[in-house]
Amino acid sequence: MIDGRRLLVFREPTSPKGHDLQRDGRYALHCGVEDARGGKGEVLIRGIGATPPAAAEGEDAAQAPSPPPSRYVTFELSVDEVRVTRPGSEGPRHTRWRRPRS
């Protein structure tokens, strides 16, 4: 779920992916995409996942378009890096964004 400010995911308490986020926090999402003209590309997003405070977790679940079961664990995913690859007439074009360091 994206609420305009944050990227949230809801996981079963027994989920191996949820356990990975609780243990280490690092995540990567990768997706191959195709546009309306049949062009191909890919997107990679990396960051850290963490559980929000318990009060916020309940509020986040209640605001989800399809609220998850109450047993689910909420993770807020930071977006620290985005890489996009698109086809170009002279080969692939790469775009990279990184969160500014504070």
47-56 residue pLDDT tens = 999 988 765 5
9-29 residue pLDDT tens = 889 999 999 999 999 999 999
CA distance 36 to 24: 38
Q: Indicate the pTM of the whole model.
A: 0.74
Pick the CATH number of 7-98 from 2.30.110.10, 1.10.340.30, 3.40.50.150, 3.30.710.10: 2.30.110.10
User: How many CA atoms does the CB half-sphere of 41 hold within 13 Å?
Assistant: 18
